[in-house]
Chains A and B, each alone.
Chain A
Amino acid sequence: MEMLEFRFDSKPGARPTDPALCGVVGSGNLEILVQPSEQPDCCQVRIKTSARGFGATWRAVIGDFAASHAAGGTAIAINDMGATPAVVSLRLAQALADYQGGAL
């Protein structure tokens, strides 16, 4: 297992108090928990992943997500069981939409 932590600037978004969870820690899948954080212009992400050595890929995928979504003010926790970058991107968008109560 590898633990990673990232912090990216992101546009401030809606910050409901209720957390949102999406996905399951199954093979090729991951779960994402989105909660409010104290910093409205920053997206913090903590990852536990079964696949070691993919830090640069995670950085690219999360950086892209933070730049393209209003994910400021969120603390995101991820448990990953080998999801591909495309699955991670889709789940991040889904989790944020669930959290902010909007559609995808």
Chain B
Amino acid sequence: MSLSLTNRHCWFEATARARINGLLDTGSFSEILPPAASQPSPHLAQLDLPGAFDDGVIVGYGQLEKKPIFVIAQEGQFMGGAVGEIHGAKIVGLLRRAAREKPAAVLFLIDSGGVRLHEANAGLIAISEIMRAVLDARAAGVPVIALVGGSCGAFGGMGIVAKLCSAILISEEGRLALSGPEVIETVAGVEEFDAKDRALVWRVTGGKHRYLMGDCAMLVDDDIAAFRTGTTAFLADWREPAPSAALLRARQQVLENRLAAYGTLRDGLQVWAALGVAQPESVPMLDRDSLVALKEGLPT
């Protein structure tokens, strides 16, 4: 699907509020704890930093194609979307309510580098509470869908949270990993990973790579309407499975096989060749539809 620039509303550059407005049915969104009722972070105030009224996350409910939906949207432009105490509490509260009220799904618009280091243990605890709340909502039968396509991607604790969701929809611009590129370079040296090499960063953590590897259920264009269409199509086919040890063991086996097959490779290019892509160097320039066609033609 090739979109003209004038019809396109870029997800990557949009604010969290603009993403919600374009994603849900027009005018259907109601915010819980809106800016006038919410509190900026007391931790940031202690450090003499201005907070944001909504603490960098918007939670609420609305409709998608007339179905009741809960939404969480992180604002990547505020402190890298990092999770502080209030930010985390808002997310956990919404997920717990979802487990009780059972909407058709929770859409989790992740745009975050992980824990807000300024808030130290409070931020770490918040992340672990989010993980538990995602799993509890899923166990109650509510799909939790991660949408990743913002400038901060999904890293650190939020990378783990993304993988705990029922599925991830990602754009080429989106990124997903545990340690961010700069963290790896700082800890292991530039020979291990050059964080300034943006092409390398995307070949290892970017949306196309994650989709080819099967980490993400769907690759969508960097367009708010494309995320809406993709989410609607995904939910139409998805039934949240009951949690089971057998499913976890099967997943563990897939990951072990993957480590054995690709664990020594250094770059997305090598992984794609090993996956059976005939011309791996062409992958970064393919548009979304061509890449999806390529993946569907790969040996499984």
Residues of A within 8 A of B (CB): 1, 19, 21, 24-26, 29, 31, 33, 35, 48-50, 77, 79-81
Cβ–Cβ contact A35 & B36, under 8 A:
yes
Interface bits B41-58 vs A (CB < 8 Å: 1, else 0):
000010011111110100
In the bound complex, residues from chain B placing their C-beta under 8 Å from that of A50 are 49-50
Interface contacts beyond A1-B49, A21-B54, A24-B75: sample of 12 additional A-B pairs, CB < 8 Å, sorted by A: A1-B45, A1-B50, A21-B35, A25-B50, A25-B51, A25-B56, A31-B53, A33-B53, A49-B50, A50-B49, A77-B53, A79-B52
In the bound complex, residues from chain B placing their C-beta under 8 Å from that of A79 are 40, 50-53
In the bound complex, residues from chain B placing their C-beta under 8 Å from that of A25 are 50-52, 56, 77-79
Cβ–Cβ contact B15 & A24, under 8 A:
yes
22 pairs, CB–CB < 8 Å, chain A vs chain B: A1-B45, A1-B48, A1-B50, A19-B34, A19-B35, A21-B34, A21-B53, A24-B15, A24-B52, A24-B75, A25-B51, A26-B78, A33-B35, A33-B36, A33-B53, A48-B51, A49-B50, A50-B49, A77-B53, A79-B40, A79-B50, A79-B52
Q: With A and B bound together, what is the CA distance between A48 and B77 in angstroms? A: 18
- Chain B residue with the shortest CB-CB distance to A29: B77
Pick the contact of B50 from A21, A35, A81 — CB < 8 Å? A81
Residues of B within 8 A of A (CB): 15, 17, 34-36, 40, 45, 48-54, 56, 75, 77-79
In the bound complex, residues from chain B placing their C-beta under 8 Å from that of A21 are 17, 34-36, 53-54
Residue of B17, B50, B54, B77 ringed by the most chain A CB atoms within 10 A: B50
Chain A nearest CB, measured from B150 CB (Å): 12
Which label, helix, strand, loop or mixed, suits the secondary structure of the B interface? loop
Residue of A33, A79, A81 ringed by the most chain B CB atoms within 10 A: A79
Chain B nearest CB, measured from A19 CB (Å): 4
In the bound complex, residues from chain B placing their C-beta under 8 Å from that of A31 are 35, 52-53
Q: With A and B bound together, what is the CA distance between A34 and B48 in angstroms? A: 23
Q: With A and B bound together, what is the CA distance between A79 and B52 in angstroms? A: 6
Q: With A and B bound together, what is the CA distance between A91 and B49 in angstroms? A: 21
- Chain B residue with the shortest CB-CB distance to A26: B77
Chain A nearest CB, measured from B79 CB (Å): 8
- Chain B residue with the shortest CB-CB distance to A34: B36
Residue of A19, A21, A35 ringed by the most chain B CB atoms within 10 A: A21
Q: With A and B bound together, what is the CA distance between A83 and B195 in angstroms? A: 28
Q: With A and B bound together, what is the CA distance between A25 and B34 in angstroms? A: 16
In the bound complex, residues from chain A placing their C-beta under 8 Å from that of B35 are 19, 21, 31, 33
Q: With A and B bound together, what is the CA distance between A28 and B96 in angstroms? A: 36
Q: With A and B bound together, what is the CA distance between A1 and B52 in angstroms? A: 13
Chain B nearest CB, measured from A80 CB (Å): 6
Q: With A and B bound together, what is the CA distance between A1 and B26 in angstroms? A: 38
In the bound complex, residues from chain B placing their C-beta under 8 Å from that of A49 are 50
In the bound complex, residues from chain B placing their C-beta under 8 Å from that of A19 are 34-36
- Chain A residue with the shortest CB-CB distance to B45: A1
Contacts A29-B77, A33-B36 known; A80 to B53 CB distance under 8 Å? no
Q: With A and B bound together, what is the CA distance between A24 and B45 in angstroms? A: 17
In the bound complex, residues from chain B placing their C-beta under 8 Å from that of A80 are 50
In the bound complex, residues from chain A placing their C-beta under 8 Å from that of B78 are 24-26
In the bound complex, residues from chain A placing their C-beta under 8 Å from that of B15 are 24
Chain B nearest CB, measured from A81 CB (Å): 6
